[in-house]
Each structure stands twice: as structure tokens, then as C-alpha cells.
């Protein structure tokens, strides 16, 4: 493991996705031990799987409890039924929630069945405020440096809203569906301002496919064309990478 910094951002470079998962989960556990009513922002995607496996192991070993924690997921397809296997709600259940002691009423998602998506997004923002804001936000990153469904061009002031998915993101996410046509065209996603309001942010990434996005996020000046570059302005942001994703930083 190697620790480096770029500006404000702390970077932990690990050997492989397994170690990335252990390091990221370790940062979550550290915060949960300080505050058992932690408000956690959670992401989905392949990168999250080793992180959630590690959190499950910690729960099984009784070193961590989620009983008093609250979770807000970063995004959800729209419209989608939570019971559909391709929903992010279902992903979270099968990869984490079904195996830990989280209280089901503390699991929060934007309402992807609402007939009024803008109202559903406003309610989600209000709920985050009501819970005192997000203490720790976990993020992945897209090959185009998106965070959540905040694609290139997303303004710094954006909040939870309905977004149209780019064809590239739909194609990349089609691995979780039977065919590309089944990938929804829209999603409800926290905005950049929602993410930046979190008190602490941890972005995790693995693999050579993410190396350019990581380098752009840290090397370019903060720009809407590289949504993850906004994170440079956050006072407490850590990137946990495997060696391949850190290729251009070492
Ligand atoms: P991945 O997705 O972890 O499946 O690569 C991350 C993202 O697109 O945000």
C-alpha cells in the first residue's frame, strides 16, 4: 500500500481490488466506530462489490454493526420497480443489505416509481437534510469520470434530479441487463452539490480502464467536462485505487 496526495486529495494505492475493498471498508468502519448513527451515502457497480463483501465480513465477525446507521443511495434508474433484479435497490440488497443488520426503514433511495420525478428528487434532498446531511459518501467513477449519473457537462450546483443516460453509460451498464434495450434511458441521481455537501468522500476505482479518468480527475483543473475533478475542491476526499487505476499517478 502506498499513500500519496494530489492537492487536497489523499490517495491510497493498493495492490489489487481485494485490498482496495479492505482499505475502503476500513475507512467506513473507522467512521462508524466514531459515530454509530452515521449517515452513509452508497454507490453501486462492480467496484463496490469487494467493499461490501468486506463490510459483510466485518459484520459477521461482530466488529461492525449497521443497526443505527442510515444509508442514502447515490442513484437509481427511472422508472424502475425496486424488485426488478436490475434495479440498484436490488443490487444493494443482494450485495450488502440482506447480510447486515441495517434497519430497513433506514435504507433510502430516490423514489423511482414516482409519477412526479422532480418532486421525488426534491423530497430526497429534504430527507438528506432532515437526517443531518451525509457523513461519508462512497463513490465509484465512470470511464468518462462521471460520479453517480453526473455525466460530463454537469454543473457544480446540480442537486438530485432526473438525468438522461449517455449511450456510453447505457452500453457500459448493459452488463447488468439481458440486452442493451432493457437499460433504462433515465435515472434519478444525486447532483454534484449533493455529493460535495458530504462531510467526507471516498472514491474507489480499479483497473486500467479507469486510469485515464483518475488522472484527469486529479490533474485537470476542476471542470464540468470531468465531473470527478470537482472533488479536488472538497476538504476531506480520499481516492482508494488499485495499482492499475493509479497507473498515471505513480
Ligand atoms: P463500476 O461503475 O464500479 O461498475 O465500474 C462505477 C461507475 O460507473 O460509477
Ligand 1 centre distance from Cα of residue 44 (Å)? 7
**What H or E segment, with its residue span, contains residue 72?**
strand 70-73
Structural contact between residues 238 and 250, judged by C-beta atoms closer than 8 angstroms = no
Q: Is the CB of 17 under 6 A from ligand 1?
A: no
242 is catalytic: no
Those residues whose C-beta lies under 8 Å from the C-beta of residue 193, and which sit 6 or more positions away, are 156, 157, 158, 159
* pLDDT score at 220: 73
Q: What pLDDT is recorded for position 172?
A: 86
At 198 the pLDDT is 98
Label residue 41 exposed, middle or buried (CB < 10 Å: 0-12, 13-18, 19+).
buried
Respond yes or no: is residue 234 known to be catalytic: no
What's the whole-model pTM score? 0.97
Q: Is 137 exposed, middle or buried (0-12, 13-18, 19+ CB in 10 A)?
A: buried
User: Which of 17, 24, 44, 88 to probe ligand 1 with, by most ligand atoms within 8 A of CB?
Assistant: 44
Taking the C-alpha atoms of residue 121 and residue 138, their distance in angstroms, rounded to an integer, is 20
List the beta bridge partners of residue 12: 3, 240
DSSP per-residue codes, 237-248 = EEEEEETTTTTT
- Whether 75 is catalytic is yes
Would you say the CB of residue 140 lies under 6 angstroms from ligand 1?
A: yes
Give yes or no for residue 165 CB within 6 A of ligand 1: no
The radius of gyration of the chain's CA atoms, rounded to the nearest angstrom, is 17
Going from the Cα of 147 to the center of ligand 1, the distance in angstroms, rounded, reads 9
Mean pLDDT computed over 141-166: 96
Tens digits of residue pLDDT in 82-120? 999 999 999 999 999 999 999 999 999 999 999 999 999
Catalytic-labelled residue, pool 54, 73, 125, 144: 144
- Torsion angles phi and psi, residue 28, rounded to 5: -65, -45
Distance 172 CA to ligand 1 centre (A): 9
- Residue 108: name the closest of 194, 40, 21, 156 by CA: 40
Copy the grid coordinates of residue 188: 434519478
Amino acid at each position: 500500500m502506498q499513500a500519496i496526495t494530489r492537492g487536497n486529495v489523499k490517495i491510497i494505492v493498493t495492490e489489487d481490488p481485494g485490498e482496495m475493498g479492505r482499505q475502503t471498508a476500513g475507512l467506513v468502519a473507522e467512521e462508524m466506530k466514531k459515530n454509530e448513527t452515521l449517515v452513509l451515502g452508497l454507490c453501486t457497480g462492480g467496484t463496490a462489490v469487494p467493499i461490501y463483501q468486506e463490510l459483510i465480513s466485518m459484520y459477521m465477525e461482530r466488529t461492525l454493526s449497521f443497526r443505527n446507521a442510515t444509508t442514502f443511495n447515490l442513484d437509481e434508474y427511472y422508472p424502475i420497480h425496486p424488485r426488478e433484479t436490475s434495479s440498484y435497490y436490488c443490487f444493494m440488497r443482494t450485495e450488502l443489505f440482506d447480510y447486515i443488520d441495517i434497519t430497513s426503514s433506514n435504507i433510502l433511495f430516490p423514489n423511482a416509481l414516482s409519477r412526479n420525478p422532480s418532486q421525488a428528487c426534491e423530497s430526497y434532498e429534504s430527507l438528506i437534510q432532515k437526517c443531518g446531511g451525509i457523513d461519508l459518501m462512497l463513490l465509484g467513477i465512470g470511464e468518462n469520470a462521471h460520479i453517480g449519473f453526473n455525466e460530463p457537462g454537469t454543473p457544480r450546483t446540480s442537486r438530485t434530479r432526473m438525468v438522461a443516460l449517455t449511450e456510453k453509460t447505457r452500453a457500459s451498464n448493459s452488463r447488468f441487463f439481458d440486452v442493451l434495450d432493457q437499460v433504462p434511458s433515465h435515472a434519478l441521481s444525486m447532483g454534484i452539490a449533493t455529493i460535495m455537501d458530504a462531510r467526507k468522500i471516498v472514491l474507489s476505482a480499479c483497473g486500467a480502464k479507469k486510469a485515464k479518468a483518475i488522472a484527469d480527475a486529479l490533474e485537470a483543473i476542476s471542470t464540468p467536462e470531468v465531473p470527478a475533478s470537482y472533488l479536488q475542491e472538497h476538504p476531506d476526499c480520499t481516492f482508494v485505487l488499485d495499482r492499475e487505476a493509479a497507473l498515471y499517478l505513480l
